[in-house]
Amino acid sequence: MKIEGGQCDDVRVLSCAPAGETGRKYGMWVLDVENPGWPKVIAGQFAMLRPERFGLTLVWGRPLSICRAEPDRIRFFFQEAGRGTAVMAGLAPGEKLTLWGPLGKGYAVEPETPTLLLAGGMGLAPFVEYVLSHPAPQNLHLVFGHKPELSCYPFDALACGRGREAHREEKPGDLEAFLAVLDERVKAYADGLVLACGPKPFLTAVARLGAKYGARTQISLENRMACGVGACLGCVEEDARGHYAQVCKRGPVFWTKDLKFFQGAGS
Amino acid sequence: MMDMRVNLGKLSLKNPVVTASGTFGYGLEFSPYGDLAKLGGFVVKGLSLKPRMGNPVPRLAETPCGMLNAIGLQNAGVNAFLRGMLPQLPWRETAVIANLYACDPDEFGELASILAAEEGVAALEVNISCPNVKEGGVLFGQDPAQAARVTEAVKKRAGDKPVIVKLSPNVTDIAAIARAAENAGADILSLINTLSGMSVDIRTRKPRLANVIGGLSGPAIKPVALRCVHQVRKAVSIPIMGMGGISSAEDALEFILVGANAVQVGTANFMRPDFSFRLVDELPLLLKKIGAKSLDEYRGSLRLD
Ligand SMILES: Cc1cc2nc3c(=O)[nH]c(=O)nc-3n(C[C@H](O)[C@H](O)[C@H](O)COP(=O)(O)OP(=O)(O)OC[C@H]3O[C@@H](n4cnc5c(N)ncnc54)[C@H](O)[C@@H]3O)c2cc1C
Ligand SMILES: Cc1cc2nc3c(=O)[nH]c(=O)nc-3n(C[C@H](O)[C@H](O)[C@H](O)COP(=O)(O)O)c2cc1C
Ligand code: FES
């Protein structure tokens, strides 16, 4: 019998280039690989990537959000964070990598519901696919918080009918101002849908606001992963019932109400 | 095509490739990546009598050529497995092996009797790497007398199911434990389980695992595993499943060369989820390529002159 899951293929790198003019400075990269014939992708799903170059040294693949799935290519948007992503940054066209995906559960798509997208830094990645594949982008509103220049991010391509705003954190005080913006926006979408991706402190703030205004809220978690397919039980997060759930399978996108971590977020 | 069937006493496998406990979930997780029925068999995640929540996170750390894990045997309990998962597994076509975990011999016996009644379970693999709580925390797998007691307890209640005893490498004399298990009635031995290890972060000054200490697996442990299989092969006459760091067909043959009857694949399933399925195809091709006449001819043919 077959259960839901991805497929595993050896694919070629098409390109790996710095993201924007200054991307190299921040170690931010856009990686395109061959699309091995994936079925439909749901924005928020991810893939595991393991370049041949990892050899025996790095045993695990690296989880990255699917930034864009097109018939001929899958795009990822990543930042160097350690040994594996440093190797990935050096990938040349034609190099082989093992790719398994699409994996996990993506974001809810409710075409008629006013939907607020909240992205922090690299958390913009899944929203590229989300916005570009959404049946009614006129109902979307994107709020983006970032530190490196905006030109490092695929922000301009994201046309959202209800609004699109970017806030850069450069000096002390910017973060507080950004949090105030988030508060106002979530309040305005209390009857809509709030979707977030970014660093955990950012997600915690969003979850707290979602609870404060009673907005239905989904967030995407980035727990450390080995298998990506639900087998190793390494990536678990405690759910609202007190059980450890595999983030790679039950998530990475969760309703905040289903997670223990965010239960107390309202108080 | 070379005949890849192997008989480990009463346990017959269609080929020597078996996936290792804890690295292959309950099998179904890997069904999108290959035909489970193609495998020689698979050992499911360790089962305990009662559900276990497992350890806090982080439970995993990647280390050079390997990884550490301290999952803490999170599992839904033996009954949830038998009711919810086993019926979905292709146990008529391949060997579904249960991995047992308990903290005293009686509990091991109880688990064995529950699993022995299941048509879909091909064999019982006993994980003796846990501390014996009643004996003050001595690991069953580190003391020949304790290993024998657990083996006897399981064997007594396992009916006609083959009993596999899984050995820990964290001992001074693995051959002594192996002999104790054999004398206590073990039908098969599997080895090795993970090596005890640790990893720390110099910046945060914290251990990388919440549990501080974990089990090392992956290519890094292969030389230790081979040495263990070699020593145990000389010490016992029952069949052996060899494992530890297998990440290619060449690696698998190394274990067979030193005398393993079958192999188990663990961490390599994380390197790519179709690894074990591919290994089933690659093994006969490689045997042929290196000029082996058959799997049986090649097994244990290590030249020690
Ligand atoms: C579902 C999911 C989607 C992700 N999407 C993106 C994305 O689109 N763009 C992006 O830049 N990053 C993304 N990340 C984070 C990215 O996976 C890590 O930055 C990366 O794995 C770091 O690997 P490394 O070898 O460079 O770091 P090391 O620290 O050398 O890695 C050691 C191990 O820890 C894991 N690890 C380390 N940091 C993280 C982290 N923050 N999250 C998860 N695992 C980590 C690694 O995968 C590796 O297995 C995502 C993570 C998850 C779980
Ligand atoms: C994440 C993980 C979980 C494991 N869980 C179990 C388990 O539940 N029971 C068991 O007997 N061995 C368990 N093991 C040990 C493996 O079955 C195997 O003995 C070990 O990893 C060595 O093989 P490898 O190097 O091919 O991974 C686990 C290993 C890993 C990596
Ligand atoms: S990464 Fe293995 S269970 Fe999620």
Q: What is the residue whose two structure tokens read 């395109």?
A: A32
According to the model, what pLDDT value does residue B103 have? Answer: 87
According to the model, what pLDDT value does residue B136 have? Answer: 58
Contact B30, B90 (CB under 8 A): no
* ipTM of this complex: 0.94
According to the model, what pLDDT value does residue B130 have? Answer: 72
Q: What is the residue whose two structure tokens read 């209800």?
A: A162
CA dist., res. B251 & res. A192, Å (int):
55
Pocket test for ligand 2, best of B17, B18, B19, B21 (most atoms within 8 A of CB): B21
Contacts of B32 in chain A (CB under 8 A): 2-7, 229
What is the mean pLDDT of the segment spanning A254-266? 79
pTM of the model: 0.96
Name the phi and psi angles at A115, rounded to 5. Answer: -125, 130
According to the model, what pLDDT value does residue B197 have? Answer: 95
Q: Which of A4-8, A45-49, A263-267 has the lowest mean pLDDT?
A: A263-267
A9-21 pLDDT, tens per residue?
999 999 999 999 9
Name the phi and psi angles at B143, rounded to 5. Answer: -135, 120
User: Of B38, B22, B8, whose CA–CA distance to B259 is shortest?
Assistant: B8
According to the model, what pLDDT value does residue A57 have? Answer: 98
According to the model, what pLDDT value does residue A228 have? Answer: 98
Verify whether the Cβ–Cβ distance A232 to B71 is below 8 Å: yes
Contact A114, A24 (CB under 8 A): no
Nearest to A1 among B31, B53, B270 (CB): B31
Q: pLDDT tier at A266 (50, 70, 90 boundaries)?
A: very low
CA dist., res. A12 & res. A36, Å (int):
9
What is the identity of the amino acid at A106?
Answer: G
Verify whether the Cβ–Cβ distance A60 to B23 is below 8 Å: no
Verify whether the Cβ–Cβ distance A59 to B57 is below 8 Å: no
Contact A234, A224 (CB under 8 A): yes
Contacts of B45 in chain A (CB under 8 A): 231, 233
Contact A72, A204 (CB under 8 A): no
Verify whether the Cβ–Cβ distance A60 to B29 is below 8 Å: no
According to the model, what pLDDT value does residue A173 have? Answer: 87
SS3 of A176, please? Answer: helix
* CA A249 to ligand 3: nearest atom: 4
Whole-number Cα distances in Å, A31 to A34, A73, B209: 10, 10, 31
Nearest to B66 among A59, A224, A230 (CB): A59
Sign of CA dihedral B293, B295, B297, B303: positive
What is the whole-number distance in angstroms between the Cα of residue B193 and the centre of ligand 2?
Answer: 6
What is the identity of the amino acid at B185?
Answer: G
Question: Bridge-partner residues for B91, per DSSP?
Answer: none
A205-216 pLDDT, tens per residue?
999 999 999 999
B145-169 pLDDT, tens per residue?
999 999 999 999 999 999 999 999 9
Name the phi and psi angles at B145, rounded to 5. Answer: -65, -40
A241 lies within 8 A of chain B by CB? no
B164-180 pLDDT, tens per residue?
999 999 999 999 999 99
Residues of chain B with pLDDT below 50 are none
Verify whether the Cβ–Cβ distance B269 to A236 is below 8 Å: no
User: Which protein residues touch ligand 3 with a CB less than 6 Å away?
Assistant: A 225-228, 230-235, 246-248
The answer on pLDDT for A267 being more than 50 is no
SS3 of A81, please? Answer: coil
Average pLDDT, chain A: 94
**Residue A11 Cα to chain centre, angstroms:** 22
Q: What is the residue whose two structure tokens read 């913006």?
A: A181
Residue B235, min C-alpha distance to chain A (Å): 32
Nearest to B54 among A100, A233, A235 (CB): A233
What is the mean pLDDT of the segment spanning A160-177? 91
Sign of CA dihedral B176, B177, B182, B183: positive
Beta strands in chain A (DSSP E): 7-18, 28-34, 46-51, 62-65, 68-70, 73-79, 96-103, 115-120, 140-146, 163-168, 193-197, 216-220, 236-238, 244-246, 253-255
What is the mean pLDDT of the segment spanning A31-58? 97
Q: pLDDT tier at A248 (50, 70, 90 boundaries)?
A: very high
A98-120 pLDDT, tens per residue?
999 999 999 999 999 999 999 99
The answer on pLDDT for A261 being more than 80 is no
What is the whole-number distance in angstroms between the Cα of residue A71 and the centre of ligand 2?
Answer: 38
According to the model, what pLDDT value does residue A2 have? Answer: 44
